[in-house]
Amino acid sequence: MLRSLYSGVSGMKNFQTELDTIGNNIANVNTYGYKKGRVTFKDAISQTLASATPGTSAQQVGLGSQIGSIDTVDTSGSPESTGRPLDFAITGDGYFRVADGNNTYYTRAGNFYFDDNRRLVNSEGFTVLGTNGQAITLGANVKSFSVATDGTITDQDGNTIGTISIATFQNPAGLTKVGGNLYTTTNSNAGTVTVSQPGQNGAGTIKSGYLEMSNVDLSEELTNMIVAERGFQANTRIITTSDEILQELVNLKR
């Protein structure tokens, strides 16, 4: 069988994966704290027809392409003003820590709320962890509060209620997405996690009344979609041409 036929098939599969990734990026263009994905390709194995000799290069035929990686592009999105005091955006590096039982997750989406126990939680009901590793809870006498850039939450009398913690990683792009704007370090290459108060040990600061937008550039994604679509079409043409050649070979015997 023709090698070009299988090369075209591999190219189609890879461009389909890229289109899937681009589609997911576009679908999350307005998702707070979302980090876009990126697909990279690499060539597959090459078949050596003739080995290299002195003065002559090796004769090799490539056998298609394959997925090199699907990366998370960990760049900051633009902050959007909401005016809501429980909306937090991180300026700089780091992630909020939220917990569901014994499981700790990380997120850049800072749209938080107070539950019926007056604990600070995210939209999934996961508790937001403070620098002491515990949930941040408002006392019954707290009528109003304010949040400083260093994550300190104080009540109307100036008493400290708690301090929001920030987690930083050696390789934040290595975090694993688990849905719901959450990341985990399970089976990831994020490296060592460092938990700090905002503004310390390389952690970013907090802006109350803002939310971090997705870092998806819609114009860039649409351009990439056009390129991926043309790449997909070109690979289908390879398959069509290879099929026509095979048909001619079959027709030799009539």
Percent of the chain residues topping a pLDDT of 70? 99
Render pLDDT for 4-24 as a digit per residue (tens, 0 to 9): 888 889 999 999 999 999 999
Position 1 scores a pLDDT of: 57
Averaged pLDDT of the chain: 91
> What is the domain partition of the chain in residue ranges?
3-75+216-251, 79-212
Please count the other Cβ atoms lying within 10 Å of the Cβ belonging to residue 193. Answer: 16
Give dist(CA 213, CA 89) in Å, integer: 9
Confidence (pLDDT) at 244: 86
Q: Residue 233: enclosing H or E segment and its boundaries?
A: helix 218-251
User: pLDDT tens digit string along 41-85?
Assistant: 998 888 777 788 888 888 888 788 899 999 999 999 999 999 999
Please report, to the nearest 10 degrees, the dihedral formed by the alpha carbons of residues 61, 66, 69, 75 taken in order: 90
Spatial distance between the Cα atoms of 14 and 8, rounded to a whole number of angstroms: 10
Report pTM. 0.86
pLDDT computed for residue 208 by the predictor: 93
Q: How much is the pLDDT for 143? A: 83
**pLDDT at position 205, please?**
95
Amino acid at 62: G
Q: Is the distance from CB of 199 to CB of 149 less than 8 angstroms? A: yes
Alpha-carbon distance of 139 to 128, in angstroms, equals 16
Give every residue of the chain whose pLDDT is below 70, as ranges.
1, 254
Q: What is d(CA 166, CA 36) in angstroms, rounded to the nearest whole number? A: 21
The per-residue pLDDT for 254 is 66
- pLDDT of amino acid 63: 84
Q: Which amino acid is at 119?
A: R
Q: What string of H, E and C letters represents the secondary structure of 71-110?
A: EECCCCCCEEECCCCCEEEEECCCEEEEEECCEEEEECCC
pLDDT at 149: 92
The tokens 């700090």 sit on which residue?
196
